[in-house]
Amino acid sequence: MISVKVFIDFRVSSSLAHDSRVRRRSFLAVLRTARPVTVTEKVVLGVYAAWAGLAVLVSVMHEGLSANNVTRLAIIAYLLVGLGWYWLTWTTVASASGLAFVLKCSLGALVVEGCYMISRPVFASLLIVPGASPGTMIRNTLIDFAFTFPAYLVIFGSFWLLLRRFRYRVSEYVLLFSLGQALGDGGAFFVANPALLLLAPYVMLNYQAINIVPYLRVRDQLPPGRAHGLLRLVLPIVVIPAVYWVVGAAIIVVGRQLGLK
């Protein structure tokens, strides 16, 4: 019996050692194939993170825990949870298909839309106010999703087209694509109040919470040989706002026909 036990223990330990070696080889393989973030990019992202943190701090100090700031803090929490989960599972092989990227971004956008139901839903009449019944909250949220989800599919479809055509550094994607969304979502506001561009990261955090993690999942699996010219830096802040304006106009037209304001 002792020899049998020793044999079993030996087999189990050998199996565990083999699994450990396989996991170690898989991890090293990912390290060899993944494109590292350069020191310059880390500095840029660090400066941006400090800028964003300052913008949020200024807003909280000015307005306190208003509905807008509570919404923003909830979105930041969602971003941090997503990044934390990514770093814990980043060696997992993810799908690089356009459909997977677009769906992950669009579903993430619904989380952010849900956060906005207490401050600025797609239509003011859908705002969830204190004392609203659970039925009203669910109904308003589902109506909001019915309008915004198809729009996000189109928006993130345009993201995928740009990513398939051009090669972006992590810092370029994080800053330019979210800036394009901020300009598309609030371009008229920034034109009327250009000084508030200094607080643009306060708004950009919304979009980064949605699309950073799906991008990190696929960036090392995108096709090689993509263009790297200066045009890639211009297109996100031109194409993405244009897409926003088109889908936004469609939402407004359809919503008004249905009596939503």
**Predicted confidence (pLDDT) per residue in 25-58, tens digit:** 443 444 344 456 788 888 888 999 998 889 889 8
How many domains would you assign to the chain? 1
Could you read off the pLDDT of 171-190 as tens digits, one per residue?
A: 999 999 999 999 888 766 66
Query: How high is the mean pLDDT of the chain?
Result: 82
* Position 20 in a domain: no
- Where in the sequence is the domain holding 106, given as residue range(s)? 37-257
Whether the predicted pLDDT of 142 surpasses 90: yes
pTM: 0.80
> Residue 35: what pLDDT?
59
Averaged over 228-254, what is the pLDDT?
93
21 is a domain residue: no
Angle at 92 between CA 28 and CA 110, to 5 degrees: 145
Residue 15 — very low, low, confident or very high, per pLDDT cuts 50/70/90? very low
pLDDT in tens, 77-122: 999 999 998 888 766 655 668 888 999 999 999 999 999 998 889 9
Q: Is residue 12 part of a domain?
A: no
Does 126 score more than 50 pLDDT?
A: yes
Task: Give the model's pLDDT for residue 6.
Answer: 38
Q: Is position 128 within any domain?
A: yes
Q: What is the pLDDT of residue 3?
A: 45
Dist CA 146 CA 175 (whole Å): 28
Angstrom distance (rounded) from CA 228 to CA 174: 16
Domain membership of residue 114 (yes or no) is: yes
* pLDDT score, position 79: 92
* Residue-level pLDDT at 71: 87
> What integer pLDDT is reported at residue 28 of this predicted model?
40
CA distance to 95, 109, 216, per residue, from 88 (Å): 17, 22, 13
- Please, what sign has the CA dihedral across residues 9, 10, 14, 17? positive
Q: Is residue 16 part of a domain?
A: no
Residue 189 confidence (pLDDT)? 63
- The percentage of residues in the chain with a pLDDT greater than 70, rounded to a whole number, is 80
pLDDT at 92: 60
Does residue 99 belong to any structural domain of this protein? yes
